[in-house]
Amino acid sequence: MRISKKWKKVMTCILSAGMTVSLAACGGAGIDSPPVSQDEPVEEAAEEAKEDSREPEKAEKEPVTIRFWNGWTGVDGEVLKEMVALYNEQNQDNVTVDMDIMEFSSLEEKMNMSIASNTNPELHLGVAVGDYSRDGIYIPIDDIWEKTDLEKSDFNEDILDACTLDGKLYGMPFQLSGTFLYWNKDLFEEAGLDPETPPRTWEELAEFAEKLEDPSRNIVGGGFFMIISFVSRKCF
């Protein structure tokens, strides 16, 4: 049986104390023996054992690389590069984010090809939850509230709902944007709508859009820009 250095020193401490007590008992029985120091060997061994019993420093965490694809090629992309560089420099989890920026028009095609070849990235910046979640490509991240410092109450419920499918959270909102509704008063008048009264509910919006729709004139009743969100990826 092999005994570690730590336990050898602890055993030395115990044996030294035991030998001291035994010799003292023998001396009391009338056997002449040289004086034994009861302080130095025990204290020295005890101190060494104490030093070795200190909790060792935590081992360095295994390195992790997260491939991150997005289509932020403009000024916002430069800001994102700075954020990623700062994270790579300051995070203490031995995590490296390997970011690849491309045109959004190329991103979807590359995503589909990478999924087919099992080389998809771990992180993807794209539109709100859709086919990727239904196909099992995205993984739910419902435990993000327990495993991070993020507070669910800090996020707009409707925005989180756009990142949810079948009751499971698949992504996180990435940026804060103001949403505005513009309406064409001339088209409202032509459709028999009050140009000074825009839709105030989703039901009214759908109703007005149907009245405004005119494919023969290439007029679309309404439209919205999709929500951008971080989405966790599943590695097969």
Domain 57-127 is found in CATH 1.10.3720.10: no
Give every CB contact of residue 172 below 8 A, 6+ residues apart in sequence.
141, 144, 150, 163, 229, 230, 231
Report how far apart, in Å, the C-alpha atoms of 36 and of each of 42, 46, 127, 210, 212 are: 11, 17, 80, 103, 105
Q: What are 124-181's pLDDT values in tens digits? A: 887 656 677 777 788 899 999 999 999 999 998 888 888 888 899 988 887 766 677 8
Which of the 8 DSSP states describes residue 39? S
Domain boundaries, the chain: 5-52, 57-127, 134-228
Report field, pTM of the whole predicted structure over 0.75: no
